[in-house]
Structure 1
Amino acid sequence: MRHWILLLIAAAALAGAGRPVSHQDIWKMKRLGEAAVSPDGKWLVYAVTEPDYDPAKTAADLWLMPADGSSPARRLTNTRGAESDIAFSPDGKQIAFTARREGDEAPQVYILPLDGGEARRVTSLPNGVSNPQWRPDGKALLFESAFDPIAMQRKERKWNARVYDTFPIRYWNAWLDEKRPHIFTLDLTSPSAKPVDLLDGAALASSRGFAGRFNPLAGGQALEAVWSPDGASVVFTAVVNLDELMYAETESHIFSVTASGGEPRLLTERGQSFASPRFSPKGELFAEHTRIPTRTRIYSLSRLARLSWPQPGKAVILTQAWDRSVSSFEFSLDGATIYIDAEDSGFDKIFSMPAAGGTPAPLLEVSRGGYTNPQATAYGLVAKYQTSAQPPELVQLKPGSNVHAYLTRLNLDQLRELDTPEPVHFWFTAKNGRRIHNLLILPPGHDPAKKYPIVIFPHGGPNSMSKDAFSTRWNSHLLASPGYFVLQTNYTGSTGFGEQFADGIERDVLRGPAQEILEAVNEAAKRYPSIDLTRQAAIGASYGGYLMNWLNGHTTQFKCFVNHAGAGNNESQYGTNDGGL
């Protein structure tokens, strides 16, 4: 009980009167990776990276701890290379994960017994593997790997030119080639067993438009494959018309394929898009309904859907009337409740709803930081909690209570040394009639009797949201550390304020959002007279950089602009764009 901490007390403790934050503080803070809960809900395995400016000194390992935090965590691995894709075996005695260890050309699947012993490698595929999943009986694994139809030609040819006859040719900073994501299974009962390609020879997998879902953060394409409850088939996501990317909306669908392979069967209706299939403990199939491509709007909410299983049929959209977008979802251990994390009015929040349907309700009120990635345990919920000053930590939640308990304390002691003022949230009504939410970071050691410059920092996207969340790349407290106010405005087009608000940028791409940001500067100065309006700067990346170009051409109030990867010409952007319409 002594470990339970009121959110208000925790926020106050972490925002002390210490020194301003430095780049070294931000960069060297330990970074929490993914976490997995054992099937009985009693144990957690999570990944932690300990970064260093010298990559050779960076360490990343897995840790095991009771899900109630009753005893300290125990280190499971001790390597420099990172482990990811953690999956408990059905009996909870082993975990599978992916890692690139000595001798590996690419990440492979390893299995580690939790009662002691070394991890053993069970795959050796040239293009690496991802997303290992145990079959429900624990006797086989599925995983994903890239299939290269011209692997032999690639080795023999003496040239390395890239040949394309359709878009896309790249995704972000990675060139696309002939490789396509495939699903494999591996029998664990036979030491001599070889991986079986479930999509070998399938017309779907060889079609021009076939692809997985792109993940710019993790890299590569994902089919999001999961076992059916009886282990007789595999359900996965696939894009079906990627070759139409530059002139049509792409569609992603849910398919099933038998565990022995063959032609996949379409489970969802064409003309829509679905992703992230998951089976509940009750054996029901759920997924995210990501959009209706034929609808004439740029932005659509991601909604929770229950799919027909095992036969194809019409999906039931469970959150149709809820004006928020599903970021991820998880089930209670008995499958009766679904937990959703979603952006909401400047915060990441967790909501709960009956699996049979209903209106999602907030699990707890949030006034500082945000919660993501909820997972059910035998003791309640675990989730990631972070603030603009604090990198994510694992916390324990109890439904109906507005308190959390820290399960990890990776950076809390270090944060007490820093002056990281709690962000000020404020709203105002813009001249266009819209209610606009803002975050204002005060300079460290703020003295109301002094004057400070202000930096405006609109988010990119534009369908994204500024929030009280930690960033290594664009840390708001680091930006404020020289003695600046930092203003982040959730202009029209931002997510977390409803579908209409996010889609409202479609017909007013620059002028409207920019005017809201300029009005926000004046609103901030009314609240804090210590803002020096004669010293203003503006920074932005991607769409935020696009705004920098507009502001530079239409205003004279800024002394400085920083434009990172901002568009400057719509025609040339279309010709080089790898993200589609």
Structure 2
Amino acid sequence: MTSRQAFSIDDLFLDQRITDVHLAAGGQQAVCAVRSPSRADDRYRSALWCFDLGGAPPRRLTHSDSRDEAPRWAPDGSQIAFLSDRAETGTSQIHLIPADGGESRALTRLPRGVGSFAWRPQGDLLLAVCPVSVDPDRRADADEITEGAQARARDTQLPQLVWRTPYKADGTGYELDTRHHLFLIDADSGEATQLTHGPFNVRSAAWAPDGERICLSRTREDAGFEHCTDIWMLSLDGRQAGARQRLSHRQSNSSWPGWSPDGHWIVFSGSVEDGDAQQSLWLIDVEAVGKGDGNERRTSVQPLGDESIEVVAGELHWHRDSGAVAFVQAHLGLQRIASIAVPGGALTAVVGGHRHVDRLACNERDLVFTAQRADAACELHRADWRGEGETPLSRLNDWWDRRSVPQVELRRFNVPDGRGRHEEIDGWLLRPAGVRDDEPTPLLVDIHGGPASYAMLSFSTHAYWQVMASRGWSVLALNTVGSSSYGRDFAARLRTRWGELDLPQVLAAIDDLQAKGLVDERLAIIGGSYGGYLSAWAIGHCRRFKAAVVCAPVGNLESHFGTSDSGYYADAYSIGGEPKERRALMARLSPMTSIEQATTPALFLQGKDDQRCPVGQSEELYTKLRRCRRAPCEMVLYPGGDHHVLTTGKPSHRRDGLQRIVDWLERWVDADSQADSQADAA
């Protein structure tokens, strides 16, 4: 029997990720995009693979060094369309490849490329969302501008005019010189016809079964609400745009519309309150659209199921009889496949378990999906619509079989609820493989982002879980108050109480593990985004932790409100108002006001081009902590790195970040922090 190895930092380069999956109607093959990091050229490559539902060996369809992604079967199953940047790195075009393999051909040659697409049910056209160039100084002529589809991207060194919000986005930066519009693409010639024009962005779109209408999610034009999205319906007049109509009004965020096979319904995910990250299901009765007066027209949109049903962002999948929709549901810190009856809203759990289901594709018989656990790598699986007959389809990450996998347990902790009582919360506890219950270990507490989120389980999100467990550590990832997937009330209670309600729950869970003899006094804390916020807040409010790693945090709520791509509405939701109304609260809740009390050695990791929690947030915390000279601190900036630099950034940046996390924790957790702090400050 081969001895198992410890997880290592370089395992990052072995991780294979399925980023998309599609299932042919009536077919027995799923096509996937599989992404892997390349150490040689410090980027990612993606290839298309076909996995047979009957168990035949998988086959690789594409072999280029490019990023081949977003595969979609043609309606007749004869070929697969996909996006590839093989002609020009960073600019993806639609390509076609025969279903049985062979040479692919480029279908589109749009100057700015293609963002996403969908086949028309009849197979003769594709509907594509594409970036188009816009001159910000000609914004008054937005409805008449049509040359953008033929123009290259503007020079990024030109002056960047700002006249509205949002004007930037994490991962892309300044965006007022670009809009995203709908195009029809001829499936034979690649000829492109622009369908939408104007000062808005199309986010996603789907065909009606008759191929004559389109439902789409697009941003608003109303001043101050340009970040909000609504569902619209667009009719076609031949290959030109015809009548259009707005279908949703009450929701501030409306995404992923999908048309039922019988044409009667459109389902979408969305939220009512501006800044609310928790998405519910909504149903549009298409036959009722346009009937009655204005008020009655709005009643064509109704909630689908209970508002506590939380949807993981992504495509919604209709059953062929139009009587149910399958989707990935966030539920009690887990992600499962659920089916909801239309129009009644009865919910059925289909595929569950102590894991996270992620990518999902369906046809009339089968569900194909990716799933992962903290002790099992992400792989592809299949089941039927009842959740029966589940079988694994892929072995992309079989290198996990040669690793010493940590012990993983989903535990319950009794913690204070902030109202003078107690409640129970969930937490994932990872312990080193083979460690005894009477053998205490150091503990790393990992705080999730959001805060309206929950602990993620993917290796790519926090490879340090497995690496630190292999080095003798335990890891605790809690879903404290404010986490989503536990009902709206549980998440909403943290609004206006960041840090004040959840840190006591973290400390109570640590006390529980120490009382049971599982962990000792060697405690460290880490987190990114909101997790970075709470990590910085924690070291300013207690001295329990011997080391901290603060990644892309919110450090100063008021400056974050004005500099984040989403702060002006997301922060307003979290603090219950605008800064002029909540200035004292924002100051009280900001780690900036308490970081000077910290004595815990702190490492700050930050993408230099992060627009979600901009670099100034880490810089403010680092500079203030450094000037106080009470604790050792370092900051690492990653050029070109966005908010997700440590999970999807350059492979070399991710490796560097992981190495620094390991080194920082092991350097300080056994050190006399006070003595080292004084020496470092001197």
For normalisation by structure 1, the TM-score amounts to: 0.85
Shift in Å at residue 525 of structure 1? Answer: 2.3
Shift in Å at residue 33 of structure 1? Answer: 2.2
Q: Name the structure 1 match of 2:174.
A: 175
Q: Name the structure 1 match of 2:16.
A: 30
Identity %: 25
How far apart are the structure 2 equivalents of 1:156 and 1:553?
45
Q: Name the structure 2 match of 1:51.
A: 37
Q: Name the structure 1 match of 2:193.
A: 196
How far apart are the structure 2 equivalents of 1:250 and 1:158?
23
- Does the Cα contact within 8 Å between 2:214 and 2:235 map onto a contact in 1? yes
**Cα distance change, pair 50–544 in 1 and its aligned pair in 2 (3 A):** closer
How far apart are the structure 1 equivalents of 2:402 and 2:151?
58
2:201 aligned with 1:211, yes or no? yes
Shift in Å at residue 133 of structure 1? Answer: 1.6
2:518 aligned with 1:530, yes or no? yes
- After the TM superposition, which of the residue ranges 508-517 and 378-387 deviates more from structure 2? 378-387
SS in 2 for 1:525: helix
Q: Which of 258, 263, 274 in structure 2 is aligned with 1:278?
A: 258
- Give, as a single letter, the amino acid of the residue that structure 1 aligns with 2:503: A
SS in 1 for 2:249: coil
**Cα distance change, pair 136–573 in 1 and its aligned pair in 2 (3 A):** same
Q: Which of 80, 84, 103 in structure 2 is aligned with 1:95?
A: 80
- Does the Cα contact within 8 Å between 1:250 and 1:293 map onto a contact in 2? no
SS in 1 for 2:562: helix
How far apart are the structure 2 equivalents of 1:156 and 1:105?
15
2:284 aligned with 1:307, yes or no? yes
Shift in Å at residue 330 of structure 1? Answer: 1.6
Shift in Å at residue 468 of structure 1? Answer: 3.8
Shift in Å at residue 442 of structure 1? Answer: 0.5
How far apart are the structure 2 equivalents of 1:495 and 1:17?
40
Q: Name the structure 2 match of 1:6.
A: none
Shift in Å at residue 426 of structure 1? Answer: 1.2
Q: Which of 159, 162, 165 in structure 2 is aligned with 1:161?
A: 159
What per-residue deviation string (whole Å, max 9, x for no partner) do you get for residues 112-132 of structure 1?
A: 121343211111111110222
Q: Which of 195, 198, 205 in structure 2 is aligned with 1:225?
A: 205
- Does the Cα contact within 8 Å between 1:338 and 1:352 map onto a contact in 2? yes
**Cα distance change, pair 398–261 in 1 and its aligned pair in 2 (3 A):** closer
Alignment of 1:281-292 (within 5 A): 281-292=261-272
How far apart are the structure 2 equivalents of 1:359 and 1:557?
46
Shift in Å at residue 105 of structure 1? Answer: 6.6
Q: Which of 315, 325, 331 in structure 2 is aligned with 1:344?
A: 331
Q: Name the structure 2 match of 1:77.
A: 62
**Cα distance change, pair 271–288 in 1 and its aligned pair in 2 (3 A):** closer
**Cα distance change, pair 398–109 in 1 and its aligned pair in 2 (3 A):** closer
Q: Which of 432, 449, 462 in structure 2 is aligned with 1:443?
A: 432
Shift in Å at residue 86 of structure 1? Answer: 1.5
**Cα distance change, pair 196–104 in 1 and its aligned pair in 2 (3 A):** farther
Shift in Å at residue 463 of structure 1? Answer: 0.9
SS in 2 for 1:392: strand
Q: Name the structure 2 match of 1:569.
A: 556
- Give, as a single letter, the amino acid of the residue that structure 2 aligns with 1:549: A
**Cα distance change, pair 403–386 in 1 and its aligned pair in 2 (3 A):** farther
- Does the Cα contact within 8 Å between 1:303 and 1:317 map onto a contact in 2? no
How far apart are the structure 2 equivalents of 1:394 and 1:440?
25
**Cα distance change, pair 299–500 in 1 and its aligned pair in 2 (3 A):** farther
Q: Which of 244, 247, 266 in structure 1 is aligned with 2:224?
A: 244
SS in 2 for 1:238: strand
- Does the Cα contact within 8 Å between 2:523 and 2:544 map onto a contact in 1? yes
How far apart are the structure 1 equivalents of 2:31 and 2:129?
22
SS in 2 for 1:423: strand
Shift in Å at residue 560 of structure 1? Answer: 0.9
Count of residue pairs the alignment pairs up: 537
Q: Name the structure 1 match of 2:528.
A: 541
How far apart are the structure 1 equivalents of 2:154 and 2:385?
60
Alignment of 1:267-416 (within 5 A): 267-270=247-250, 272-293=252-273, 299=276, 301-309=278-286, 311-312=289-290, 313=297, 314-321=299-306, 323-327=308-312, 328=314, 329-366=316-353, 368-377=354-363, 379-398=365-384, 404-412=390-398, 414-416=399-401
- Does the Cα contact within 8 Å between 1:371 and 1:386 map onto a contact in 2? yes
What per-residue deviation string (whole Å, max 9, x for no partner) do you get for residues 513-553 of structure 1?
A: 111111111122234x1311x21111111111111221111
How far apart are the structure 1 equivalents of 2:100 and 2:157?
50
2:214 aligned with 1:234, yes or no? yes
SS in 1 for 2:286: coil
2:17 aligned with 1:65, yes or no? no
How far apart are the structure 1 equivalents of 2:364 and 2:222?
42
Shift in Å at residue 398 of structure 1? Answer: 3.7
Q: Which of 478, 487, 495 in structure 1 is aligned with 2:476?
A: 487
Higher helix share: 2
How far apart are the structure 2 equivalents of 1:343 and 1:157?
41
- After the TM superposition, which of the residue ranges 32-41 and 390-399 deviates more from structure 2? 390-399
- Does the Cα contact within 8 Å between 1:58 and 1:80 map onto a contact in 2? no
What per-residue deviation string (whole Å, max 9, x for no partner) do you get for residues 204-240 of structure 1?
A: x22xxx234xxxxxxxxxx211122111122210110
Shift in Å at residue 72 of structure 1? Answer: 1.1
- After the TM superposition, which of the residue ranges 140-149 and 57-66 deviates more from structure 2? 57-66
- Does the Cα contact within 8 Å between 1:279 and 1:285 map onto a contact in 2? yes
- Does the Cα contact within 8 Å between 1:318 and 1:357 map onto a contact in 2? no
- After the TM superposition, which of the residue ranges 416-425 and 507-516 deviates more from structure 2? 416-425
The structure whose RCO (Cα within 8 Å, separation 6+) is larger is 1
How far apart are the structure 1 equivalents of 2:386 and 2:176?
50
Pairwise CA RMSD: 2.8
**Cα distance change, pair 284–383 in 1 and its aligned pair in 2 (3 A):** farther
How far apart are the structure 1 equivalents of 2:267 and 2:464?
33
- Does the Cα contact within 8 Å between 1:286 and 1:304 map onto a contact in 2? no
SS in 2 for 1:20: coil
- After the TM superposition, which of the residue ranges 37-46 and 392-401 deviates more from structure 2? 392-401
How far apart are the structure 2 equivalents of 1:235 and 1:348?
27
How far apart are the structure 2 equivalents of 1:343 and 1:53?
34
Alignment of 1:113-192 (within 5 A): 113-150=98-135, 160-173=158-171, 174-189=173-188, 191=189
What runs of 5+ residues in structure 1 fail to find an aligned partner? 1-12, 213-222
- Does the Cα contact within 8 Å between 2:258 and 2:268 map onto a contact in 1? no
- Give, as a single letter, the amino acid of the residue that structure 2 aligns with 1:96: A
- After the TM superposition, which of the residue ranges 252-261 and 557-566 deviates more from structure 2? 252-261
How far apart are the structure 1 equivalents of 2:80 and 2:483?
39
Q: Which of 256, 266, 272 in structure 1 is aligned with 2:233?
A: 256
Shift in Å at residue 503 of structure 1? Answer: 1.1
How far apart are the structure 2 equivalents of 1:570 and 1:352?
39
What per-residue deviation string (whole Å, max 9, x for no partner) do you get for residues 110-162 of structure 1?
A: 11121343211111111110222222211111111112133699899996121
**Cα distance change, pair 33–525 in 1 and its aligned pair in 2 (3 A):** same
Shift in Å at residue 34 of structure 1? Answer: 0.7
- Give, as a single letter, the amino acid of the residue that structure 2 aligns with 1:308: D
- After the TM superposition, which of the residue ranges 33-42 and 261-270 deviates more from structure 2? 261-270
- Does the Cα contact within 8 Å between 1:290 and 1:302 map onto a contact in 2? yes
SS in 2 for 1:541: strand
Shift in Å at residue 440 of structure 1? Answer: 0.8
- Does the Cα contact within 8 Å between 2:377 and 2:400 map onto a contact in 1? no
2:6 aligned with 1:20, yes or no? yes
- Does the Cα contact within 8 Å between 2:455 and 2:478 map onto a contact in 1? yes
What per-residue deviation string (whole Å, max 9, x for no partner) do you get for residues 138-196 of structure 1?
A: 1111111112133699899996121212222321242223211010112335x4x6311
- Does the Cα contact within 8 Å between 2:32 and 2:49 map onto a contact in 1? yes
How far apart are the structure 2 equivalents of 1:155 and 1:530?
56
